[in-house]
A and B are shown apart, each in its own frame.
Chain A
Amino acid sequence: MTEITAPAYRVIPIIPALKPGAMEGVKTFVASDKINEALGFPGHLVDDWHDRAIAKMGELLSKYRSLRVFMDACVHCGACSDKCHYFIGTQDPKNMPVARQDLMRSVYRRYFTLPGKLFPKLVGARDLTREVLDEWYNYYHQCSECRRCSVFCPYGIDTAEVTMAAREILDSVGYGQKYSNEIIGKVHKIGNNLGLPGPALQDTLEGLEEDVKEDTGIDVRFPMDVKGAEVLLITPSADFFAEPHIDSLIGYAKVFHATGTSWTLSSMASEAANFGIFIGNYEQLRKVALRIRQAALELGVKRIVVGECGHAWRVAYSFWNTLSGVGEGADETDRFAQMLQKQLDHRYKQPMHICEFTWDMIERGALSFDKSKNDKHIITFHDSCNVARGSRMGDFAGGQFEIPRNIIKAVANHFVEMSPETTREQTFCCGGGGGLLTDDLMDVRVKGALPRMEVLQQVVDEHGVNFMAMICAICKAQFTKVMPIYGFDRRMVGGVHQLVSNAIILGDK
């Protein structure tokens, strides 16, 4: 394998020329029989894949209004064509959102519309051949489902929905991706993406208690499986030992400690991430989410708080109420949801993001900080795609942008924004989201990071930024890996609660 190098920065904002076929050979590892079968999918590509794929597409068209409308509504206006970080980084025209959608739309037209049946060439309709199926596999695994294109589409067409549908069709014919499917299997079996069993987790948490004690002289607890705790914290399992994730976990624990909140982790539901969203499969999405419902019911908690993780927060905020009843406002007759909703304390948002929790405590004056502890950092904030475009925090639209920034400004003195075309709702994906955070897609990941790296370089040059804060486990893992390739120090990457952890003044509660 050739060494992966970073593409050159563009003179912003030049739209790159097309390089057809540039990424056509990039193929993420296909899942083994064992991995697929563990999720109830066929082990490998079935003989009648063609008919099954078309039937599955028909089924999805009848179950998802998004797919139904998005297949029809596109007019090929090109508004999205220069908005995808993978297109910008790879210049492959099939990484333009519209072209990525058209990989499926062309098949949709052929089998589900009259003009496509009668005049395929005229309307760009194609038969579903093996080549087309392979093309789907390759290019639908070069989309991180970040929804940036959907911001700019005049009809709100969201390529993420199309990618999810494509991946679901691929799974249904035994052509699943190793990375995502293997991880979902681990969650079903063990409870988290890393396959970290309960006792190992317990050891890790005890080790953390010792570390923090050594560091601060204070007994900050990291409780697990405590029945009757007020708060159940659901956080990405990377927080338990990956760098820099773990520093944010310490931050959450310190916030709970300083505010005297009784909290617990769960060994059964030790994962906020839900890769079910990546493969677009409702049943998998639901099954993973139900572990959290079960843990909440068993532990009898009053509140559920979610740690720093982008897609996990989208799933928690937007889907949990639907999938598992974590939320409020279920019908009286809805026994499934009421069972949990009666237990939860509705004076608080359910679920709540850890940033909402911390900011709320800051506003109430329950936390105090020594901001100078962060003075060595000149900080910028990377909005994570799923938080920015698939969720909210607080009581008003856009709270997901303000609350993390407010926290940073409350705990640190030096904060700088990156270019506004690349933050908030227009933020660029880190390049590793949506089931792409795997070494076999390193080339795509490095190229996909290009637009973020360009604007980071600007604030580094102009303001001496040396810390990019974020609230997503995937962003943290992706950036620590690809930033050195662009010549940045990996220690520039960190969580918002890492900054909180640095500055928080712990009483002896």
Chain B
Amino acid sequence: MDMTSILFAILFYFATLLFVVGLLYRINTYARTPAPLKIPTTPAPTSKAGVALRMTREVVLFESLFKANLWTWSTGWLFHASLALVLLRHLRYFTEPVWGWVAFIQPFGMYAGLTMLLGLGGLWARRLFVERIRYISTPSDHLMLVLLIGIAASGLSMKFVAHTDVIAVKNFFLSWMQFSLQPLPADTPLFLHLIMVASLLVVFPVSKLLHAPGVFFSPSRNQTDNPREKRHIAAWAQQLESDG
């Protein structure tokens, strides 16, 4: 086994571990922190089913962003929808045999790589050229886009410029999942692609990427509008009542 393959295997064990543990830790923190007051942004659904629907519209369609700004919505939604397709497409590297629907979406996933790049470009252009957005951007906001653009571009280059031995890549990851190692093809775009993906996994739990789990815990979106009908009280607030 060559050293590079071993290093990549270790890198991915490490990155995956940080990603999973970090994310679970963060989600656990969100879930355990009480929401002492009812603060849904109204008009809000009056039933749990309504809240589920509101959250679905928010997560799938970016409803609020649609109300806010059509440019940001269209580029943002294009990026996220494309990313979802691309991620699903990548399931083929981790499953054997490949599930039918994953095989079916392969061509769409490929074009999604291009639209993902388009969406990212739009988002970055907004950050660079719109005065207000430039004002609120930190260096990490730009770097995050650069990282995602890098991942998309390196991935696409393996499809459209210089083919990588994807069968070998798949063997590497299948064996990686079983803690027995097959070699990774020695290929610069692939190395770049994988290093950037691992970086993304590592920074996920400590960066603004936490918006992904965060949205589900946002009290202004996930609370039912029923404060008159049901008493809502946090443990620390109830404590004040026993104190007199």
Which chain A residues have a beta carbon within 8 Å of chain B's beta carbons? Answer: 15, 17-18, 20, 61-66, 68-70, 72-83, 93, 96, 98-99, 102, 113-115, 121-124, 147, 150-158, 161, 282-283, 286, 317-319, 321-322, 325, 327-331, 334, 336-337, 349-351, 388-392, 396-398, 400-401, 425-426
Tell me the B211-231 residues at the A interface (CB within 8 Å).
211, 214-215, 217-221, 225-231
- Closest A-B pairs by Cβ, 7 of them: A73-B214, A124-B138, A152-B68, A79-B68, A156-B220, A397-B43, A329-B230
Cross-chain contact A123 with B138 (CB below 8 angstroms): yes
A386 smallest CB distance to B (angstroms): 10
A81 touches B136 (CB 8 A): yes
Q: Is B91 an interface residue (CB 8 A)?
A: no
11 extra A-B contacts, CB within 8 A, seeds A17-B131, A154-B215? A18-B131, A73-B215, A74-B208, A81-B133, A93-B136, A123-B207, A152-B68, A154-B65, A154-B76, A157-B220, A389-B42
Sampled A-B contacts (21; CB under 8 Å): A64-B36, A65-B34, A65-B219, A69-B219, A72-B26, A73-B208, A79-B65, A82-B132, A96-B132, A115-B206, A122-B140, A124-B139, A151-B64, A154-B215, A156-B41, A156-B58, A157-B220, A283-B240, A319-B38, A322-B36, A350-B228
In this complex, what residue of A is CB-closest to B29? A68
**B241 at interface (Cβ–Cβ under 8 A)?**
yes
Contacts A327-B227, A327-B229 hold; do A78 and B42 have CB atoms under 8 A apart? no
Cβ A122 vs Cβ B143 within 8 A: yes
Whole-angstrom CA separation of A158 from B40 in the bound complex: 10
From B41, B203, B227, contact of A150 by CB (8 A):
B41
Nearest CB in chain B: distance from A68 CB, A:
5
With A75-B208, A78-B132, A334-B231 in contact, do A153 and B64 touch (Cβ < 8 Å)? yes
Chain A residues positioned under 8 Å from B44 (CB to CB): 392, 397
| A123–B131 touching, CB < 8 Å | no
What residues of chain B lie closer than 8 Å to A390, measured between beta carbons? 39, 41-42
Which of B30, B45, B58, B241 meets A154, CB within 8 Å?
Answer: B58
Chain B contributes a number of interface residues (CB within 8 A of A) equal to: 67
- A223 CB to closest chain B CB (Å) equals 25
Question: Knowing A114-B206, A153-B64 touch, does A98 contact B218 (C-beta < 8 A)?
Answer: no
Closest B-chain residue to A424, C-beta based?
B43
Q: Which residue in chain B gives the minimum CB-CB distance to A116?
A: B206
With a 10 A CB-CB cut-off, give which of A66, A72, A328 has the most chain B CB atoms.
A72
Q: List residues of chain B with CB within 8 A of the CB of A15.
A: 132
Chain B contact residues, majority secondary structure: helix
Contact with A along B139-168 (1 / 0, CB 8 A): 111010000000000000000000000000
Contact of B33 with A397 in the complex, beta carbons under 8 Å = no
In the complex, per-residue mask of B22-56: 1 if CB is within 8 Å of any chain A CB, else 0: 00001001100111111101111110001000000
Is residue B103 within 8 Å, beta carbon to beta carbon, of the partner chain? no
A329 to B67, CA, bound (A): 35
Distance of B172 from chain A, by nearest CB (Å): 30
Contact of A396 among B34, B46, B133, B231 (CB under 8 A): B46
CA of A192 to CA of B79, assembled, Å: 53
Q: List B contacts of A70 (CB < 8 A).
A: 218
- Closest chain A residue to B131 by CB distance? A18
State whether A78 touches B232 (Cβ < 8 A): no
Q: Tell me the minimal C-beta distance from A102 to chain B in angstroms.
A: 7
Nearest-neighbour CB distance to chain B for A244, whole angstroms, equals 26
Partner of A155, one of B36, B72, B211: B211
Q: Which residue of chain B is the closest to A395 with respect to CB atoms?
A: B46
List A contacts of B126 (CB < 8 A). 78
Tell me whether B46 and A329 are in contact (CB under 8 A): no
Whether the pair B43, A74 counts as a contact (CB closer than 8 A) is no
The answer to the question of B69 belonging to the interface, with a C-beta cut-off of 8 Å to chain A, is yes
Q: Which residues of chain B are within 8 angstroms of A18 by Cβ–Cβ distance?
A: 131-132, 135
| Contact A63 B236, CB 8 Å, known A124-B138, A329-B231, A337-B231 | yes
Q: Which residues of B contact A286 (CB under 8 A)?
A: 237, 240
Of A73, A121, A147, A392, which contacts B218 at CB under 8 A? A73
Find chain B residues with CB under 8 A from A98 CB: 136
- Provide the residues of chain B in CB contact with A77, threshold 8 Å: 65, 72, 76, 133
Closest A residue, CB atoms, query B221: A156
Q: Which residues of chain B are within 8 angstroms of A61 by Cβ–Cβ distance?
A: 33
CB-CB nearest in chain A for B69: A79
Residue in B67, B72, B133, B214 whose beta carbon sits within 8 Å of that of A69 in the complex: B214
Report yes or no: A319 in contact with B230, Cβ–Cβ below 8 A: no
User: Which single residue of chain A is at the shortest CB-CB distance from B225?
Assistant: A392
B130 within 8 A of A: yes
* Given A74-B211, A330-B231, A336-B241, A147 contacting B136 (CB threshold 8 A): no
Smallest CB separation, A252 vs chain B (Å): 20
- B233 located at the interface, meaning its Cβ lies under 8 Å from any Cβ of chain A in the complex: yes
Contact: A65 with B30, CB < 8 Å?
A: yes
Closest to B38 in A: A318
Q: Please indicate the chain B residues that have their CB under 8 angstroms from the CB of A392 in the complex.
A: 42-44, 46, 225
Closest to B210 in A: A72
Q: How far is the CA of A123 from the CA of B50 in the complex (A)?
A: 37
B67 and A351 within 8 A (CB) = no
* Contact status B35-A76, CB under 8 Å: no
B67 to chain A, nearest CB (A): 6
A108 CB to nearest B CB, Å: 12
Please give the distance in Å from B124's CB to the nearest CB on chain A. 12
Contact A122 B139 (CB under 8 A): yes
The answer to whether B218 touches A69, judged by C-beta atoms less than 8 angstroms apart, is: yes
A272 to chain B, nearest CB (A): 16
Are A400 and B231 in touch, CB under 8 angstroms? no
| Contact across chains for A115 and B207 when beta carbons are under 8 A apart | yes
Q: Which B residues are CB-close (under 8 A) to A115?
A: 140, 203, 206-207
Chain A residues positioned under 8 Å from B46 (CB to CB): 392, 396-397
Nearest CB of B to A470, in Å: 17
The answer on a CB contact under 8 Å between A66 and B135 is no
